[in-house]
Structure 1
Amino acid sequence: MGPIPLQRSRIFLCLLFLFFSMAPAALAAPIAFNDYASRIRESIALIQTGDDRIPAEHAAILREKFPPALLISRKGQTLKVDCGPLGRWIDEAEKSAGGRARLLTHMNALLNQIGDETGSPLSEEKAKGLLEAIFSSREFRHLKKAEPPAWKAWLQEQLRRFMEWLGMHFGNFDGKTLAWTFLAVLIAIVVAGVVLIIQIIRSTGGTGWRWRQAAIGKQEETPENVPVDWNRLRSEAERKAVSGELRDAVRALFLSVLLEGHAKGWWVYRPESTNTEHLLQMGRSQRKEPFRNLAELYENAWYGLKTVGPDDFATCRKWAEQMGGA
């Protein structure tokens, strides 16, 4: 066999280089989703061990835990997480104390985003804190705190006075345990009966049984009165997409679709409603499928399960336009 031509040898060397560079990523076994969350917690504990810039050995540990292409197994599917931006956070933390602080903030935010997926229950205090952080956002500032109905406030006042009256007349009597128990059960039955009757009266009509009440007032529930301009959010999404903030751009676009649907009567927007409830309100509308696709892409992008690219945002824009033109 004669010598290999120079052009063929170059092609062979390029293919050989590509094989050896891609082999580790192809052969890497995916980790479980809970292991991914554990790595984040361990990294947070490691970052919190000091106040100055992180040492080189700690940075090496973090890079080992989060390679540029990390495979995660979740619900029978293998997902690829782009950890390239996280690597740049680690580089900054290795250079300065401010970089360490920013890396810690980023890791805590990432852990909060995937907290519901790991199966670890949130405490009531932490859940309230997360909800307050969400509803303090600009798009929710028009919401008003739900006041108790007048009938409920009146009933609570009457029960308070009644209990004071009972305390004044029977508080010093001994041997009245059975009587007090009977009286408490009787009051509970009466109150439950009154509440049930009121709920039945309030729930009659086309909406069926509504056991929870919207956090916004009745004035905000009408499609003609939307406090936040969805066109402004749509423009904000385009600006963020141009500046490269694609994850935030997808979120702003999704919120604009929710408020657009409220303004045009596709559904009644309530912050506590789920995407499934919005789908049910659309019935058999042609907007149903684009909205389902948009909601799925938004959830995967916002919770860090998918890296958003320009093509993804363009697809989201197309779905939003399909809903508006349906």
Structure 2
Amino acid sequence: MTALEIKTKAIRLFLFLLLFLKLGGLSPTLYSSPSVQEDSLQVSTSPIEFDKSIIESYQTDEDYNYFKTLVEPSAWDKFKNWLNLQWNKFLNWLLSGIDEGNLWNYVALVLKILVIVGIGVLIIWLFSKYYSSKQKKIAQHQNLVNLSEEEQLLKQKDLLNLVEEAEHNENYRLASRYLFLNTLKHLREKKLIDYQFQKTNSDYKSEITQDLIKADFTYLSRLYEFVWYGDFELNVTDFKKVKSRSENLIINIQNLKADE
């Protein structure tokens, strides 16, 4: 074999090996020295500056406040919430089905309103009846007390002593009451009036037929009602006038003839 043939076979063998390595996925770069690559995260180490105004705007925004304190509602707030809930339930019950436009739903609404109004009227009627009966019992009790006291005073023979005692104590209002009761006592004894506790002074006035006595009695009864029931305090000068007028009326009553 010649040298040229040997050289040609060597070249073919080299090319064959190169093609074999290429087809096998190997690359000559595997035998090259690895290159050192720089870390992309370590490109820059300088700090980033943020706008403080933007940070403050986020801090003041309640949407970004994740540390909110829950406040326990007060008893009044709980009561209002409960009341509002009950009111909403009532409205839902009252107006249920109205949006459907059904005639029977409107009839049911009218019936509900009538029931509510009826219950309200019943409650008001019961309350008024209870209150009136209670007031009536109180009034009857007061009348019994006043009747007992007034009857006892009219049966006493020393009403003038009570007048003098009240006048001495400068209780002219009470003294005027005793004076008027003493007048009623003399009118009853002379049968000029039919004394009954439930009667008014106007009733007694209409029973008196003597003009002079009726005029004095009208004056004393009006003054008595004004002082006693109007809670008006008499001074000593006014009381002296009332006492004098009462004494004159008693004298006129006693001077009446039996047939008058």
TM-score, normalising length: structure 2: 0.42
Relative to its length, the structure with more strand (as a share) is 1
TM-score, normalising length: structure 1: 0.34
Relative to its length, the structure with more helix (as a share) is 2
The structure with more radius of gyration: 2
Larger RCO: 1 or 2 (CA < 8 Å, sep 6+)? 1
